Structure 1
Amino acid sequence: MASSISTSNPSLLSHQLRLTQPQQCPFGQLRVTQKKVSSSRQSVLTASVVAPVVETKTRNKARSCLARVWREIQGSDNWEDLVQPLNPLLRDEIIRYGEFVTACYKAFDLEPSSKRYLNCKYGKKNMLREVGMDGCGYEVTKYIYATPDISIPTQSGTCCSRWIGYVAVSSDEEVKRLGRRDIVVTFRGTVTNPEWIANLMSSLTPARLDPHNPRPDVKVESGFLNLYTSDDSTCKFNHGSCREQLLSELSRIINEYKDEELSITVAGHSMGSSLALLLAYDIAELGLNRNGSNHEIPITVYSFGGPRVGNSSFKERCEELGVKVLRIVNVNDPITKLPGVFLNENFRNLGGRFELPWSCSCYAHVGVELALDFFKMRDPSCVHDLETYISLLRCPKRVQVQKDGPDFLSMAREFLSAQKIDTWPWHNAAKNVGDLVESLRT
């Protein structure tokens, strides 16, 4: 079956890919339904758990097709007809890129007494091996550091910059499997308190990343933009802002492999998904992916539990530039509803055919949404946990799906009330925030 797949006809491709899908897998599979949202071009895919099944050789055959159909898997057709049911090639790629992001968390040093506090625990050559990804087929080429507005005092003074992610390039052997040379940029999510504060400013500001065409109508969340563009000259690990580090390294890699088929894949979780989308937009807006020719290097963003990043003009510009975004979200995850709990893409369209005067101030999600549905009463924090996201996609076992039951915020409040922890200083604050978000959400 793998040798007969053709990419010339999208519908035929979809049909052939479905024929290669496994009928069984160890713990189960996701049933994904797709519906079009009338207020935008965004698609919403809802995953639920079906009966346990067993993996077959057909799955391995499907994997071997990746080199032939990688453009479709990377979203060249906005994942049309590859999500109902969820194609195994796409699911495997989502999991694979999610593991690259997980590596950021595993390698991040949060021990205050460590010399590498707020940096990576390992050197570039060993990092992937140290986090259990030896043999993944990629080589780390650069570590990336970012600077929020708020600094953190450490034993050695005040540390402002911290390790946020890395750039990696696929090996020659991996190129054969992937069908192209893949450049991966991954970002971890928010970990420290100052990062939470700096990245929840919830105010829109013009991105102005292209000096030749600032596009003042294209606005993004100020905290995310600040983290992406701020520079800390005192940091001994990096030179320049997060943006400058990334654009420099990507330009170098693209030039090194300019004669090869390339792809740029950006993946992140939570705050990291916001940086991923900003970088993807920046690359496309500057034309870095065109490399002086008419041939464009495809840019794909895999966003895990990501918040909104910009306004509707930002969303529309990303679509114009061909930036492909697949948002993997848990419907019970409140972070995916922020910022813009009230002023968002749904509110913007209340005016029907008429543009509301404040519509430019409305936040909007970008891309196609793959919506999972899971919650654990004993562990409410799992709703935003990246490893839980990946586990559901890999082995959807014992995941409770409550389509018509109480939502996350209601369950979280009920959980807190039952714990007899009224003396905890954060207890009332957490309940109040939950009440506020619930009263404003759409």
Structure 2
Amino acid sequence: MAFADTLQTQCTLQPATSSRRPRPCARFAAVATRSTAATAWGAAARARAPAASAARMSTRRTASVATMWRQVQGSHDWDGLLEPLHPVVRDEVARYGELVGACYTALDVDPSSARHMCCKYGKERVLQEAGVVGAGYEVTRYIYATPDVGPYTSGRPSWVGYVAVSTDEMTPELGRRDVLVSLRGTVTRAEWTANLMSSLEPARLDACDVRPDVKVESGFLNLYTSSADKQSRSGGMGSCREQLLREVSRLITSFSKDHPCEDMSVTLAGHSMGSALAVLLGYDLAEHGLNRDASGRCVPVTVFSFGGPRVGNAAFKDRCDELGVKALRVANVRDPITMLPGVLLNEGTTGLLGSWGGDRYTHVGVELSLDFLRLHNLGSVHDLGTYVESLKAEETCGKLSNAVAYRRGGVLAKAMEFVAGQRAPTFV
């Protein structure tokens, strides 16, 4: 994938299973891009030649993916696959990142358009139009969400992603039938308002509300569970949660009946806010047993999170572990979103603050740590396109230039200024 006006910077990849963020060690090169996810990813996708994109997708789908798909999906918590980063894992995670990128490319952000905040294309051709040629998935449903918070709530739902399933041709190459949920990050003012609601509240997503100790961020929960008006363009199909649970469980049941000998997987991929929704969905599916096929077998559920924030407390994390929900968090150490919420009180807090009681935000899953920054475009620290390009980069970093070395001071504060400036984005 070609990106204009790029700058090569230091990049690192390192797993983390402990509560502390790993210390990066320089290993890979990253290519930084524009800051605004929607415009950056869209420009990059449109710049691709269809033939080159198809060739790249075909190259990734090697026999090794089919033979080790369970490990790629986290069956052993990616033990031994992240340091050094296994090439099949790298390519598969980058592939899912591109499928999430399609959500940005296909989103209509023109306020004057009749399809404002809807998908610009029909389900049959959305992936091709978004530049993911040869993806090997059939989109079966579009997903809408409406946060019911703050002064920016309009009652009109916004398109946040799609549900898809691997085609008959793609399935043998993947080694299983893959049900995919792809979710974008924050775009609207209402979504930013939801993101900034940092209070924890009981998730109450289990059937009998027997786990009041399981708590999640109130804004993400609101976005996940709020329903739009029945006369809205979502067709009165219920909340984001209801749409997702209904469609994913339908696909699992349908394909397991029609192809009883096939292995299956559920992959939930999201960027930023979308990764938070993906984690909530993974917990929800497993908690209600909706990830079981027609014969009662458990279908593995895996979250691939790109630049994702914390979602819940330690009890939420522990319950996800108990339910077998796997999550690989691809996180840039320079990305402030991955440090929120709970920037002061979290799973890694020690010392005086660490002695305080009460709930703490805790990340779910295993971390794959990146390290990239573009000095003249600090927003790139959270850009999905940069995340994917960093994963693809294979050249070993050389000696840091003076410009790159500058990042050692004051970068987080600058990045936080960028985040604050995105609370009311001008393109919405």
Q: TM-score, normalised by structure 2?
A: 0.80
Equivalent of 1:408 in 389, 408, 411: 411
Tell me how far apart the structure 1 counterparts of residues 9 and 66 of structure 2 sit (CA, whole Å): 26
Matched, 1:170 2:163: no
Task: Identify the residue that residue 302 of structure 1 maps to in structure 2.
Answer: 304
Task: Identify the residue that residue 128 of structure 1 maps to in structure 2.
Answer: 127
Name the SS of the counterpart of 2:368 in structure 1: strand
Name the SS of the counterpart of 1:288 in structure 2: coil
Larger RCO (alpha carbons 8 Å, 6+ apart): 2
Tell me how far apart the structure 2 counterparts of residues 271 and 365 of structure 1 sit (CA, whole Å): 14
Equivalent of 2:336 in 324, 334, 337: 334
Task: Identify the residue that residue 185 of structure 2 maps to in structure 1.
Answer: 189
Paired letter, 1:236:
R
Name the SS of the counterpart of 2:299 in structure 1: coil
Deviation sequence 1:248-304 (CA, Å, 0-9, x none): 111211111112311000000000000000000000000111246552100000000
Paired letter, 1:336:
T
Task: Identify the residue that residue 245 of structure 2 maps to in structure 1.
Answer: 247
Instruction: Summarize the Cα distance change of 1:219–1:150 in structure 2 as closer, same or farther, 3 Å threshold.
Output: closer
Tell me how far apart the structure 2 counterparts of residues 326 and 365 of structure 1 sit (CA, whole Å): 11
Matched, 1:385 2:387: no
Matched, 1:357 2:395: no
Deviation sequence 1:119-165 (CA, Å, 0-9, x none): 100111110111112321100000000011248989xxx55211010
Deviation sequence 1:353-406 (CA, Å, 0-9, x none): xx9631xx2100011111111111100100000001111111367896769922
Task: Identify the residue that residue 34 of structure 2 maps to in structure 1.
Answer: none
Task: Identify the residue that residue 48 of structure 2 maps to in structure 1.
Answer: none
Paired letter, 1:237:
S
Instruction: Summarize the Cα distance change of 1:373–1:32 in structure 2 as closer, same or farther, 3 Å threshold.
Output: closer
Deviation sequence 1:306-365 (CA, Å, 0-9, x none): 00000000000000111000000111111111111112112379799xx9631xx21000
Alignment of 1:19-418 (within 5 A): 32-34=13-15, 37=18, 40=19, 44=22, 46=24, 48-50=26-28, 63-150=62-149, 158=154, 160-233=156-229, 234-238=231-235, 239-258=237-256, 259=260, 260-291=262-293, 293-347=295-349, 357-358=357-358, 361-395=359-393, 405-406=408-409, 408-410=411-413
CA contact (8 A) 1:48 1:372 kept: no
CA contact (8 A) 1:284 1:321 kept: yes
Aligned length: 376
User: What's the C-alpha RMSD, in Å, of the aligned pairs?
Assistant: 3.2
Tell me how far apart the structure 2 counterparts of residues 313 and 74 of structure 1 sit (CA, whole Å): 23
CA contact (8 A) 2:17 2:365 kept: no
Identity of aligned residues (%): 52
Deviation at 1:198, TM superposition (A): 1.9
Deviation at 1:30, TM superposition (A): 7.1
CA contact (8 A) 2:11 2:371 kept: no
Tell me how far apart the structure 2 counterparts of residues 349 and 162 of structure 1 sit (CA, whole Å): 43
Task: Identify the residue that residue 425 of structure 2 maps to in structure 1.
Answer: none
Q: Which runs of 5+ in 2 are unaligned?
A: 1-7, 31-57, 422-428
Deviation at 1:61, TM superposition (A): 9.8
CA contact (8 A) 1:182 1:263 kept: yes
Paired letter, 1:368:
V
Moved more, 82-91 or 204-213: 204-213
- Which structure has the bigger radius of gyration? 1
Tell me how far apart the structure 1 counterparts of residues 238 and 350 of structure 2 sit (CA, whole Å): 37
Instruction: Summarize the Cα distance change of 1:129–1:190 in structure 2 as closer, same or farther, 3 Å threshold.
Output: same
Tell me how far apart the structure 1 counterparts of residues 379 and 281 of structure 2 sit (CA, whole Å): 28
Instruction: Summarize the Cα distance change of 1:144–1:35 in structure 2 as closer, same or farther, 3 Å threshold.
Output: closer
Tell me how far apart the structure 2 counterparts of residues 79 and 248 of structure 1 sit (CA, whole Å): 29
Instruction: Summarize the Cα distance change of 1:178–1:28 in structure 2 as closer, same or farther, 3 Å threshold.
Output: farther
Paired letter, 2:342:
G
Tell me how far apart the structure 1 counterparts of residues 70 and 347 of structure 2 sit (CA, whole Å): 28
Name the SS of the counterpart of 2:123 in structure 1: coil
Task: Identify the residue that residue 56 of structure 1 maps to in structure 2.
Answer: none
Task: Identify the residue that residue 7 of structure 1 maps to in structure 2.
Answer: none
Tell me how far apart the structure 2 counterparts of residues 43 and 298 of structure 1 sit (CA, whole Å): 26
Tell me how far apart the structure 2 counterparts of residues 116 and 66 of structure 1 sit (CA, whole Å): 38
Deviation at 1:92, TM superposition (A): 0.4
Tell me how far apart the structure 2 counterparts of residues 30 and 153 of structure 1 sit (CA, whole Å): 37
Deviation sequence 1:155-195 (CA, Å, 0-9, x none): xxx55211010001000110110000000001100011221
Instruction: Summarize the Cα distance change of 1:50–1:264 in structure 2 as closer, same or farther, 3 Å threshold.
Output: closer
Instruction: Summarize the Cα distance change of 1:63–1:304 in structure 2 as closer, same or farther, 3 Å threshold.
Output: same
Tell me how far apart the structure 2 counterparts of residues 338 and 220 of structure 1 sit (CA, whole Å): 13
Paired letter, 1:208:
R
Deviation sequence 1:5-28 (CA, Å, 0-9, x none): xxxxxxxxxxxxxxxxxxxxxx99
Deviation sequence 1:59-115 (CA, Å, 0-9, x none): 969932111110011100000011121000000011000001000000011001111
CA contact (8 A) 2:143 2:163 kept: yes
Instruction: Summarize the Cα distance change of 1:111–1:396 in structure 2 as closer, same or farther, 3 Å threshold.
Output: farther
Moved more, 113-122 or 338-347: 338-347
CA contact (8 A) 1:29 1:50 kept: yes
